[in-house]
């Protein structure tokens, strides 16, 4: 569905168009090599944000370069597209490494006959300019588990083998009701389907509030992929999903445990330092003209609230388990701090 179209049916999320896997041993499709791949993202997108967090926690910034598109998509041949602009640091409106203006050019380099949608994140092979994968979940998992010697010393175990069944079981519920549920509410074509989607969103938030009242992290005693998957929705909730997508039964800030949990993660290296609230607000309110035709961008809520004390340390656990925190954010990847 185009962002400027009034929805006529319930939104569905298409499977990844390209899903080559990149691993240290190359046993699937491609081999992880330093400098070979470039990750194209937009900081507004929660699905891309997942991969950015994993990349940072695993210390893959030097191995995989980062390209950030403009939060305002450009209409090309009738469809909205992720593009590079001088406003967001791309000289001549082209990515300085890939030489492209729109991410779709990497899709077409891979398959000249491709006519499907274009989404971020997109992992691009710098050797030939071909899109390797837009499978956000597989990219996250492989960067967390399959990039071997390219990860930093002290990188955490984000996908512990003993916890994977629980991570995936919980992840399916959160995806259905919350990660994708906010979109089904925001783009609902009628009252009945909106009511059903919103009920699922808050049923899941209520369950998570209960779960997180007595434990610091979703699964186990340290940050895992489960927390990353949840965080990228929570950090956008009050800023855009509550008002823009009409998920307004309660704000995240009205859930004591969930709000403290989200602040705990935000203040953990890799989470808040990869969150760009301006890009989030501008993208959602500007691009989705079907539900915000004036393109007026909301100014709140105050992002400084994310830096207030959360008290979650009392529940025990450690964010990186036996690992260590990542180093400083590379200078050219820094986002504005809440102010």
Which sequence positions are flagged as catalytic? 45, 183
Binned at pLDDT 50, 70 and 90, residue 339 comes out as confident
Binned at pLDDT 50, 70 and 90, residue 267 comes out as very high
Binned at pLDDT 50, 70 and 90, residue 13 comes out as confident
3: pLDDT strictly greater than 60: no
Per residue in 19-72, pLDDT (tens digit) is: 999 999 999 999 999 999 999 999 999 999 999 999 999 999 999 999 999 999
- Residues whose CB is less than 8 angstroms from the CB of residue 165 and which lie 6 or more positions away in sequence, other chains included: none
Per residue in 167-198, pLDDT (tens digit) is: 999 999 999 999 999 999 999 999 999 999 99
Per residue in 115-172, pLDDT (tens digit) is: 999 999 999 999 999 999 999 999 999 999 999 999 999 999 999 999 999 999 999 9
What pLDDT is stored for residue 15 in this prediction?
A: 86
What pLDDT is stored for residue 118 in this prediction?
A: 96
What pLDDT is stored for residue 98 in this prediction?
A: 98
Find out whether 90 and 96 touch, Cβ atoms under 8 Å.
yes
What pLDDT is stored for residue 9 in this prediction?
A: 64
Look over the chain and give the mean of its residue pLDDT values, rounded to a whole number. 96
Tokens, residue 159: 């996908």
% helix, strand, coil for the chain, step of 5: 40, 10, 50
Q: Hey, what domains does the chain have and what are their CATH numbers?
A: 22-150 (3.40.30.10), 161-322 (1.20.1050.10)
Which residues belong to the annotated binding site? 82
Find the Cα–Cα–Cα–Cα dihedral 177, 274, 272, 151, rounded to 10°: 90
Which residues belong to the annotated binding site for glutathione? 82
What pLDDT is stored for residue 167 in this prediction?
A: 98
Per residue in 205-217, pLDDT (tens digit) is: 999 999 999 999 9
Per residue in 76-126, pLDDT (tens digit) is: 998 999 999 999 999 999 999 999 999 999 999 999 999 999 999 999 999
Distance in angstroms (rounded) separating the CA atoms of residues 82 and 60: 23
What pLDDT is stored for residue 6 in this prediction?
A: 54
Q: Shortest CA distance to 149 belongs to which of 238, 45, 302, 33?
A: 33
CA-to-CA dists, residue 178 to 30, 173, 198, 295, 308, angstroms: 33, 8, 9, 25, 25
Burial of 185-221, coded b for 16+ CB within 10 Å and e otherwise, reads bbbbeeeebbeebbebbbebbeebbeebeebbbbbbe
Find out whether 232 and 121 touch, Cβ atoms under 8 Å.
no
What pLDDT is stored for residue 1 in this prediction?
A: 43
- Residue 64's DSSP bridge partners are 37
């Amino acid at each position: 569905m185009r962002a400027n179209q009034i929805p006529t049916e319930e939104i569905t999320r298409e499977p990844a168009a390209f899903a080559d896997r990149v691993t240290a041993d190359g046993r699937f499709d491609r081999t992880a090599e330093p400098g070979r791949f470039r990750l194209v993202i937009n900081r507004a997108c929660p699905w891309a944000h997942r991969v950015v967090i994993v990349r940072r926690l695993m210390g893959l910034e030097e191995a995989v370069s980062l390209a950030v598109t403009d939060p305002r998509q450009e209409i090309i041949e009738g469809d909205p597209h992720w593009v590079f602009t001088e406003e967001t640091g791309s000289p001549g409106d082209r990515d300085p490494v890939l030489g492209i203006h729109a991410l779709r050019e990497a899709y077409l380099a891979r398959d000249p006959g491709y006519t499907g949608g274009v989404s971020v994140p997109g992992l691009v092979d710098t050797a030939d300019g071909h899109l390797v994968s837009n499978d956000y979940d597989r990219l996250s998992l492989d960067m967390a588990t399959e990039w071997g010697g390219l990860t930093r010393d002290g990188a955490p175990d984000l996908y512990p083998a003993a916890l994977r069944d629980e991570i995936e079981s919980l992840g399916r519920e959160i995806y259905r009701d919350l990660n994708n549920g906010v979109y089904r509410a925001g783009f609902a074509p009628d009252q009945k389907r909106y009511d059903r989607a919103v009920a699922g969103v808050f049923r899941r938030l209520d369950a998570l509030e209960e779960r997180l009242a007595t434990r610091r992290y979703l699964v186990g005693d340290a940050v895992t992929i489960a927390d990353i998957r949840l965080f990228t929705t929570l950090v956008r909730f009050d800023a855009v999903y509550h008002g823009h997508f009409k998920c307004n039964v309660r704000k995240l800030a009205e859930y004591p445990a969930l709000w403290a949990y989200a602040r705990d993660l935000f203040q953990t290296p890799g989470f808040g330092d990869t969150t760009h609230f301006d890009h989030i607000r501008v993208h959602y309110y500007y691009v989705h003209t079907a539900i915000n035709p004036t393109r007026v961008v909301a100014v709140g809520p105050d992002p400084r609230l994310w830096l207030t004390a959360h008290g979650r340390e009392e529940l025990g656990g450690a964010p990186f388990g036996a690992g260590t925190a990542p180093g400083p954010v590379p200078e050219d990847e820094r986002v504005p701090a809440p102010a």
